[in-house]
Amino acid sequence: MTADVSIASDTGALARAAAEIFTAAAAGAIRARGTFRVALAGGRTPSAVYALLGQDEATRSRVDWTRVQVFWGDERHVPPNHLDSNFRMAHDAMLRHVPVDPGHVWRIKAEHADADRAAREYERDLRLAFGAGAGETPRFDLVLLGMGPDGHTASLFPETDALYERRRLVVSNRVERLRTDRITLTVPVLNRAAEIVFLVQGGDKAAALRAVLEGPFDPDRLPAQLIHPSRGRLRWLVDPAAAALLSATHAVECS
Concatenate the DSSP letters of all residues of 225-239 into one string: GG---TTSEEEEEE-
Q: Is the pLDDT assigned to residue 18 strictly greater than 90?
A: yes
Report which of 228, 201, 188, 249 is spatially closest to residue 41, judged by C-alpha positions.
Answer: 201
- What is the Rg, in whole angstroms, of the alpha carbon atoms belonging to the chain? 17
Confidence of residue 2 (pLDDT cuts 50, 70, 90): low
Q: Is the pLDDT assigned to residue 243 strictly greater than 90?
A: yes
Q: The whole model's pTM is what? A: 0.96
User: What is the DSSP pairing of strand 74-76 with strand 253-254?
Assistant: unpaired
pLDDT for 26-38, tens place per residue? Answer: 999 999 999 999 9
Please tell me the distance from the alpha carbon of residue 72 to that of residue 135, in angstroms, as a whole number: 21
Q: Is the pLDDT assigned to residue 249 strictly greater than 60?
A: no
**Given this model, what pLDDT does residue 248 score?**
66
The contacts of residue 197 (CB under 8 Å, 6+ apart) are 18, 21, 142, 143, 144, 145, 235, 236, 237
Report which of 227, 228, 88 is spatially closest to residue 153, judged by C-alpha positions.
Answer: 227
In order of their start, the domains of the chain are 4-235 (3.40.50.1360)
Asked if 165 and 187 touch (Cβ cutoff 8 Å), the reply is yes
